Structure 1
Amino acid sequence: MLAPVDPLLSEGEALEVEVLLRNPTRESLPPTRIEVLRTSAPIGTRYGLSRWFEGDGILASSVVATLDLPGVAALGRTSTTITVDADALGLDGASWGAYGLAASAPDMEGATSVVVRDEPGEASPTRLALAAPIDAGVDATGLLTAEELASLTEPGSDTDEALDAALDAGATIGVDPAIGASAEALGTDAPESAADWLELAETRDTYPLLYANADPIAQARAGAFPVEPLGIPVEDDEPLPGTAGEVGARMPVIDATGAIVQEAELGTLAGMGTVVLSTDNLAEALEGSTPSAHASVGGVDVLAADAEVQQRLQDATDANADTAAQGRAELVALLATITRERPSDQRTLAAVLPATTQGSPVAVLETLADAGFVETVSMDDALETPTREAVLAAIDDPERDAGAELVSAALAQEAEASRVATIVDEPASLLAGLRLTLLAALPDAGRAVTDADRAAIDGLGGELGQVRDAVQIVGGSDIRAVGESVPLPITIANGLTVPVQVVLSLRPLNALVSVPQPSTNISLAASTQQRVQVPIDVVGTGTVLMVAQLHTPDGVPLGQPQIMRVTAQPTIETAVAVALGIAIVLLIAFGIWRSVRKRRRGEAHGDADDISDRAARDQPVKESL
């Protein structure tokens, strides 16, 4: 790899270049001599520059430096930084623009990079309208602790430097509401740096991101936009409004640069904010010079981010330092080449920086600020330029619904967990916490859905399922119940940080015991266990299984039912009474049976006598003479 430490050169300035040699083989490489070359003239077209980025270094002809690298172990790497003085570089007095750099060595694949002679003279700078989203990177709670908030906002932190760089660039800044919400929830425990940072971030060009930088396009495609906080939980107090701590009043920027937008949804997205899509999404070919970003698609105003500029900007903020250095060099080279297309005509391009948790924008914004041929501006500046007519391209998008499916799955899981919210006196507190957990798990704006996003939604089911299982019956040993009316001990644990109201139901699986009151209302304090005594009547001797189950006040089951083994043994008096009762019942039954049996026999004899009597009456009587 070959990358300049600073891709911008002024008259008389030396060039520092980092050379990195990787050995991907399983055999060591011997010491190597490498030549660094440059092109004799600026690369004049975007096509030529793209070829150069792809590694076509055939135009490099002037050797400006030679260095010897030591041998490299198998699968190893070595790097060094060399300085090429201005005389050896030979660019003083040369035309301004992007010059190609190449590294070459015998029997090795070469590398290419670029450096820009930054002396544009009278050329009109290319304006680059930027959106700079700053997110909080919250965990599953959806809120930052006091320590995390201090680390995020203290002077000199990555987020603080990102805000300063974005303000200096005149960018349109997006702020994650989770930052302000965390400060509001902490109250007097919030660090002073948070209030200072939020005050600095509040400008006329600031807009609120969706909470936790959730993707608005995925929500719109799921028919759920906007999924917002139901409240901001506060320890030992009522939840704050869902908008607490929100910063910015500008209409949001909808980052569609990584999406394939269809015409049917474009109007909906435009109603949500300023839509920034990629020129790869448009059915147009680049002819002549690069156009400005402001476009009208089917009567809907959008900003079309140049696809190549957007990609180089993404690379320039990569977490890998080597990739970021190369990305910065390629970005300024591309912007220099665009400026040279029409030096007298000012154009306004647009792009969206990655969110700060995906990569720091500081270095690339500083590089752009130093470039004499670039002027960074806000999104509103781009919207004030004339529009051009454009048409969306018909592009197959197999992953179109990936984000929407995750949003729908998350909301379905939340709805299931919300059914148990009636166990608390103030369901809003529990529901507010559930919603923040959901928002933290949703896919982030500005990038494609990843396996990590899918895993987060799968994990969300476990997080929300814990609410259902947070209040449960604690299993115990077998119970011996001796007596007529016995209190059956059942222990219930409340794992929530708020008091709860639940209903305990108990039923036996045979008739050895009975439960006079099958359901019992129970109040449990926060984070405690409580033993409940449920009366049962013992009516027989033996083992009985009892089923205990918790429910919400409106009948939704909580946790799993518990099977309790109870050995029942009534007292002597109870046993005698039961035996006597059984004997009386048996005697009565026997008496009834005998009576019925005798009656049936009596009725049979009576029928025979009746027949004899009728026969005698029917016999003719002889008259005497």
Structure 2
Amino acid sequence: MEAETSRARRPVHRMIVRSPASRLRMPLSVLIVTLLLSLTGLFGGTFPAASPAHAATPAPDAVSVDVSPTGAPVLRPGQPLPVTVRITNGTADTVPVGTIKLYLATRALTSRTALGNWLRPEKLGAPGDLMLSQPTTAAIQPGGTAIYKLSVPAPSIGLGAANAWGARGMAATLTGDGDVLAQGRGTFVWYSGEPVTPVKLAVAMPITTPASSAGLIPAEELEAYTQPSGLLTRQLDGVIDRPVAIAIDPMIIASIRILGSSAPPGATVWLSRLAEATNDIFPLGYADADIALQAQAGSKTALAPISFEWLIDPELFTEAPPTPEPTAGTAPPTPGESATPSPSPTPGELTPPTSAGLLDWDYTMTDIGWPAAGVVAKGDLDVFAASGLTTTILSGSNVTQSTDATDEPTPNTVLSLGSGRGLATDDAISRALRDAARATTEDAWRGAVAEASSQLAVVSAERPGTARTLLATFDRGRQANPDRLVQTLDSLSALPWQTPATLREARSAPQAVGVAFEPQAETDARVDLARRLLRREAEVGAFSTALEDPVRVTGAHRLELLALLGTAWADDPAAWREATDASFVASADLLRSVTVTTKGPVNVVGSKVDIPVTLSNSLGQAVTVSVQVVPSNGRLVVGNDVEATIDADSARTVKVPVTAAVGNGDVTLRVSLYTPDGTRIDRPTEIAVSVHADWEGLGALIFAVIVVLFFGFGVWRNILRRRRERAALEAEESGESGAGESEAEADTAVGATAATEAGSESGPGSGPGSGTGTGSDDVRTPATDPRG
């Protein structure tokens, strides 16, 4: 919204006489612009109506006009206004020869809202008062660009000493055949030299590397980043020893230091330059992990690396690294100062550094948290405070003013967050500075600097005599051009209504009145994926308790997790999803690296046996596990759990004692592996077992029968042999006594035999005359011959 007309603000025009025809043409031009807007919406015409210079990027099939001051964005009394007009033909048709007209906004831009509405209007209105009209010199071919350097004479501008200083709007239109083809808008600052209260502006610049899941920057990439034209070199060149606070990713420092004497010389020089910089320096999260995303995913504190000990190679710290030659990547000396050679790298330590030593740095501040822009929720603040981050840099979209008045003065950057304080960035100034630092053309850079100058001028003029402290930031991901960055900072330092401030000065400024924290949130998709990453880390941590050296696994996984939570991934969700999927696959393989390889079936014959279970370990270190076996039914009773240590990259078979309980049949053994603290490893393995518990008793019976039969057969054979021998002896004795033995003797013998058998049947000692003799076959009693 533009300010109301007043003598102090309204331009004082010189006597400019317009003919009646010109008076008629002005409203007719407005009518044509409106008609073209309507026709464009209805028919999608080739030449859309005006495309503001500072609006969103024009459509590729549009004619656009950009207008900016050619020189400094400050206009003083008596000076002409140099203007550059760039016309771009993005259509498939030729833009005919036409007329460029320059206008001055009717009203001064006395509020931030009025300035924003002028540069980025929702609907184009009247461009203002005509200052200059000049025909173009040639038609513009499809895809072509024409640049015109114009100068508005001081009398035609219509500004004088009676006009108060401040931001002014200007517009440029391209007309052809009486039609307005396009319109662009820009700003400059009218300044007559009166005393002003400068705005204290603190600026913060993140120094980071592109998104990665590695957790440490490889030596090859460090060498490329720290070359004279490398990414890190260009970032540092733009801000070193300037009034800009540096927010450094600690991963860069650790990645260089851990290489010891093998670090690229350029990286060592870069780190030395950073150490000697006079800037305020504070750390980002490791790998620039988004602390707001961590908090919303369930982390109680901001995550940090666990350890680097397993990555430190002592052989790289046995001697100091060589001193590299000075490179051309250092920042040029300030005019008037003598050039100094690039600093030599600090000699490496003779003893390997510790994990804490890799991250140690002489920071100016360590209690500042810088989450991603516009995504901080209320609950995040408690997590930040629990992590020791008492100051949070917040995007302007994360705060609100208590009033809806459009002309409310700009507050200080500091606001209360209950558990700490916030530094709210000025998004409008930050956007202008970022556009200037990334500008690819001189005209684009001047237009962005003019907008930043106008924003600061409005703030300064809002409350004359009251100093305000603001914070502007450069963004992550889209890297600034160091030359443009230096130009931008130098241009701001020349403004009478702006003075640089350090980040420490910004933190100590009075708190803003009427400014409150406005909770925002990360997208559900990012939070859900981050929550899965945190759950997987918990699973890896529990699994690692079985390892001989758990930190080798937990430390590596934490570095990867922090890298995957990096803020830069928000600009490429598809690539982030791909990187996280790869991480889930790798960690799943890790969790399945210790397995049971016995498949079965196994036959159990007997009441008590040991079942062999083979365990495999594919890790590069030994693991200790507890083997638990649970039967599916009561046919088997399993003994206590068995603990086993499996060497690296090997397998081992353990014996699990089982006892057959009742009957025969099939049993499924559920084999589970547990870490020493009771965490189960992977899913259980099932082994099929066939139980034949009564085979042992049946086998013993069969064996007993065989033994009885064997010995019984031997006894029977012995009895038969003795009887044959006795019969043979009797036959022999009978042959020797002669065939003429008397019948009486035979009868007597028979009688004696009968008597003997009778005595045997009556038992020992039965009947008269019984003595010690028995009826044995081997003892014979001589018969008494009655004949004497």
Is TM (by shorter chain) over 0.5? yes
**Contact preservation (8 Å) 2:240, 2:279:** no
* Partner deviation per Cα, 1:150-209 (whole Å, 9 max, x = no partner): 223333222222222122541111111111122233333322333322332235610111
* Partner deviation per Cα, 1:485-540 (whole Å, 9 max, x = no partner): 9996957251x454434456678889999999974624232xx3x3434569999x
Does the residue aligned with 2:117 lie in a helix, a strand or coil? helix
Aligned pair partner of 1:52 in 118, 121, 135: 118
* Partner deviation per Cα, 1:290-341 (whole Å, 9 max, x = no partner): 4543556789765443343244445556799999867555434433554566
**Contact preservation (8 Å) 1:292, 1:349:** yes
Q: Distance in 1 between matches of 2:534 and 2:617?
A: 28
Aligned pair partner of 2:700 in 576, 581, 606: 581
Aligned pair partner of 2:238 in 124, 144, 165: 165
Say whether 1:468 aligns with 2:591: yes
Alpha carbons of 1:533 and 1:316: their partners in 2 closer, same or farther (altered >3 Å)?
A: same
Opposite residue 290 of structure 2, the aligned amino acid is: D
Counterparts of 1:380-529 in structure 2, within 5 Å, are 380-383=504-507, 385=509, 387=510, 389-393=512-516, 397=520, 410-442=533-565, 444=567, 461-462=584-585, 464-473=587-596, 490=614, 492-494=616-618, 496-503=619-626, 519=642, 521-525=644-648, 528=649
Q: Distance in 2 between matches of 1:442 and 1:324?
A: 34
Alpha carbons of 1:324 and 1:276: their partners in 2 closer, same or farther (altered >3 Å)?
A: farther
Which is higher, the Rg of structure 1 or of structure 2? Answer: 2
Residue of structure 1 equivalent to 2:71 = 9
Aligned pair partner of 2:184 in 112, 117, 139: 112
**Contact preservation (8 Å) 1:488, 1:535:** yes
Q: Distance in 2 between matches of 1:500 and 1:8?
A: 71
Residue of structure 1 equivalent to 2:249 = 176
Opposite residue 500 of structure 1, the aligned amino acid is: V
Q: Distance in 2 between matches of 1:426 and 1:53?
A: 61
* Partner deviation per Cα, 1:84-105 (whole Å, 9 max, x = no partner): 2354x65799669655343545
Residue of structure 1 equivalent to 2:400 = 281
Residue of structure 1 equivalent to 2:355 = 241
Alpha carbons of 1:273 and 1:459: their partners in 2 closer, same or farther (altered >3 Å)?
A: farther
Residue of structure 2 equivalent to 1:102 = 172
Say whether 1:231 aligns with 2:311: no
Aligned pair partner of 1:214 in 276, 286, 289: 289
Aligned pair partner of 1:68 in 111, 114, 139: 139
Opposite residue 226 of structure 2, the aligned amino acid is: T
Using the TM superposition, give the Cα deviation of residue 108 of structure 1 relative to its aligned residue in structure 2, in angstroms: 7.8
Say whether 1:258 aligns with 2:374: yes
Q: Which has the higher contact order (CA 8 A, sep 6+)?
A: 1
Say whether 1:557 aligns with 2:680: yes
**Contact preservation (8 Å) 1:181, 1:244:** yes
Q: Distance in 1 between matches of 2:377 and 2:632?
A: 60
Opposite residue 230 of structure 2, the aligned amino acid is: S
Using the TM superposition, give the Cα deviation of residue 130 of structure 1 relative to its aligned residue in structure 2, in angstroms: 0.8
Q: Distance in 1 between matches of 2:630 and 2:254?
A: 47
Q: Distance in 2 between matches of 1:231 and 1:5?
A: 55
Residue of structure 1 equivalent to 2:213 = 140
Residue of structure 2 equivalent to 1:370 = 491
Alpha carbons of 1:230 and 1:260: their partners in 2 closer, same or farther (altered >3 Å)?
A: closer
Q: Distance in 1 between matches of 2:379 and 2:673?
A: 51
Does the residue aligned with 1:110 lie in a helix, a strand or coil? strand
Question: Identity over the aligned pairs, expressed in percent?
Answer: 23
Residue of structure 2 equivalent to 1:620 = none
Using the TM superposition, give the Cα deviation of residue 415 of structure 1 relative to its aligned residue in structure 2, in angstroms: 1.9
**Contact preservation (8 Å) 2:89, 2:95:** no
Opposite residue 377 of structure 1, the aligned amino acid is: A
Structure 2's unaligned 5+ residue stretches are: 1-57, 59-63, 73-78, 160-165, 315-352, 707-788
Alpha carbons of 1:93 and 1:32: their partners in 2 closer, same or farther (altered >3 Å)?
A: closer
The answer to which structure has the higher strand fraction is 1
Using the TM superposition, give the Cα deviation of residue 268 of structure 1 relative to its aligned residue in structure 2, in angstroms: 6.7
Residue of structure 1 equivalent to 2:469 = 348
Root mean square deviation of aligned Cα: 5.4
Say whether 1:83 aligns with 2:198: no
Q: Distance in 2 between matches of 1:582 and 1:288?
A: 106
Q: Distance in 2 between matches of 1:365 and 1:165?
A: 5
**Contact preservation (8 Å) 1:316, 1:323:** no
Alpha carbons of 1:520 and 1:398: their partners in 2 closer, same or farther (altered >3 Å)?
A: closer
Say whether 1:205 aligns with 2:280: yes
Residue of structure 1 equivalent to 2:27 = none
Using the TM superposition, give the Cα deviation of residue 423 of structure 1 relative to its aligned residue in structure 2, in angstroms: 2.4
Using the TM superposition, give the Cα deviation of residue 145 of structure 1 relative to its aligned residue in structure 2, in angstroms: 1.1
* Partner deviation per Cα, 1:209-246 (whole Å, 9 max, x = no partner): 11122233455665622322222254376994356334
Structure 1's unaligned 5+ residue stretches are: 72-77, 588-625
Residue of structure 2 equivalent to 1:360 = 480
Say whether 1:192 aligns with 2:260: no
**Contact preservation (8 Å) 1:9, 1:117:** no
Alpha carbons of 1:20 and 1:361: their partners in 2 closer, same or farther (altered >3 Å)?
A: same
Does the residue aligned with 2:115 lie in a helix, a strand or coil? helix
Opposite residue 402 of structure 2, the aligned amino acid is: A
Using the TM superposition, give the Cα deviation of residue 554 of structure 1 relative to its aligned residue in structure 2, in angstroms: 3.9
Q: Distance in 2 between matches of 1:406 and 1:366?
A: 41
**Contact preservation (8 Å) 1:260, 1:400:** no
Residue of structure 2 equivalent to 1:614 = none
**Contact preservation (8 Å) 1:296, 1:388:** yes
Opposite residue 293 of structure 1, the aligned amino acid is: T
Indicate the larger mover: 548-557 or 402-411: 402-411
* Partner deviation per Cα, 1:46-73 (whole Å, 9 max, x = no partner): 44432222243632643456353324xx
Opposite residue 428 of structure 1, the aligned amino acid is: V
* Partner deviation per Cα, 1:572-592 (whole Å, 9 max, x = no partner): xxx9978523647999xxxxx
**Contact preservation (8 Å) 2:409, 2:459:** yes
* Partner deviation per Cα, 1:334-374 (whole Å, 9 max, x = no partner): 3355456678876432122212x344364355323224324
Count of residues paired in the alignment: 564
Alpha carbons of 1:264 and 1:471: their partners in 2 closer, same or farther (altered >3 Å)?
A: closer
Aligned pair partner of 2:652 in 529, 532, 553: 532
Opposite residue 647 of structure 2, the aligned amino acid is: L
Using the TM superposition, give the Cα deviation of residue 418 of structure 1 relative to its aligned residue in structure 2, in angstroms: 1.0
Alpha carbons of 1:507 and 1:272: their partners in 2 closer, same or farther (altered >3 Å)?
A: closer
Q: Distance in 2 between matches of 1:300 and 1:537?
A: 62
**Contact preservation (8 Å) 2:85, 2:147:** yes
Does the residue aligned with 1:144 lie in a helix, a strand or coil? coil
TM-score (norm 1): 0.70
Q: Distance in 2 between matches of 1:298 and 1:535?
A: 61
Does the residue aligned with 2:455 lie in a helix, a strand or coil? helix
Does the residue aligned with 1:227 lie in a helix, a strand or coil? coil
Q: Distance in 1 between matches of 2:696 and 2:572?
A: 72
* Partner deviation per Cα, 1:27-82 (whole Å, 9 max, x = no partner): x54555565443336973144432222243632643456353324xxxxxx252x3
Does the residue aligned with 2:240 lie in a helix, a strand or coil? helix
